[in-house]
A and B are shown apart, each in its own frame.
Chain A
Amino acid sequence: MTRTLIPAEPAVAGTGGDPGLRHRLAERGVDARLLLLAPALLFFVLLFLYPFLYGLGLSFQPAEGGRLESYRKFFTDPYQRDTIWITLKISLPAALLNVLAAVPIAYRMRGRFRGRRLLTILLVVPITLGTVLTAEGLLNYLGPTGWLNRILLKLHLVDQPVQLIHNYAGVFFSLVITGFPFAFLLVQSYLSGIDSTLDSAAATLGAGSWQRFRRVTLPLLAPGLATTFCLTFVLAFSVFPSAVLVGNPAGSTRVLSIAAYQAAYEQYDYSMASAIAMVMAVVELVVIGLVLLWRGTLYTGSTGGKG
Chain B
Amino acid sequence: MAVSTPQRFAELRLAGVGRRFGATTALSDLDLTIRSGEFVALLGPSGCGKSTALNCLAGLLPLTSGSIWADGTRIDTVPPERRGFGMVFQNYALFPHLTARRNVAFGLQMRRLAKDEVRRRTDAALRLVQLAEHADKLPAQLSGGQQQRVAIARAIVLEPALVLMDEPLSNLDAKLRLEMRTEIRRLHQSLGLTTVYVTHDQEEALSLADRLVVLRDGRVQQVGTPEELHTQPVNWHVADFMGYRNLLPGTAVSVAAGRAEVTCGGLRLAGAAVGPVRAGDNVIVGVRPDDLAVGAGPNAIAAVVEVVEYRGNDVAVEARAGDGTALHLRTTQRLAPGDEVTLISDPARLLVFAAEPDAAPSEPDSAPAAPAEVRS
Contact = CB atoms under 8 A, between A and B. Distances in A.
Interface stretch (B79-87, B125-133, B332-340): B79-87
A215 interface: yes
Contact of A203 (B1, B80, B91, B92): B80
Most buried by A among B87, B141, B155: B87
Interface stretch (A86-94, A115-123, A143-151, A194-202): A194-202
A208 interface: yes
A302 B60 CA distance: 24
Interface in B57-109: 58-60, 79-87, 89, 91-97, 106-107
A304 B141 CA distance: 14
B211 interface: no
B110 A206 contact: yes
Q: How large is the interface on A (under 10, 10 to 19, 20 to 34, 35 or more residues)?
A: 20 to 34
A195 B97 CA distance: 13
Interface of B: 1, 3, 58-60, 79-87, 89, 91-97, 106-107, 110-111, 138-142, 144, 147, 154-155, 158, 164, 171
A65 interface: no
A111 to B, nearest CB: 12
B155 to A, nearest CB: 8
A207 B147 contact: no
Contacts of B85: 204
Contact of A204 (B1, B60, B95): B60
Given A197-B91, A198-B93, A204 B58 contact: yes
Given A219-B97, A307-B139, A208 B92 contact: no
Nearest to A204: B87
A301 B79 contact: no
A201 B87 contact: yes
A301 B89 CA distance: 20
Given A197-B89, A200-B93, A204-B86, A307 B142 contact: yes
B93 A201 contact: yes
B80 A200 contact: yes
Contacts of B81: 203-208
B96 A302 contact: yes
A244 B95 CA distance: 48
Most buried by A among B81, B86, B142, B171: B81
Given A206-B84, A206-B158, A305-B96, A200 B89 contact: yes
A220 interface: yes
Given A206-B158, A211-B110, A303 B89 contact: no
A270 to B, nearest CB: 50
Nearest to B110: A206
A96 B59 CA distance: 37
Contacts of B60: 200, 203-204
Given A205-B110, A302-B96, A307 B147 contact: yes
A38 B141 CA distance: 38
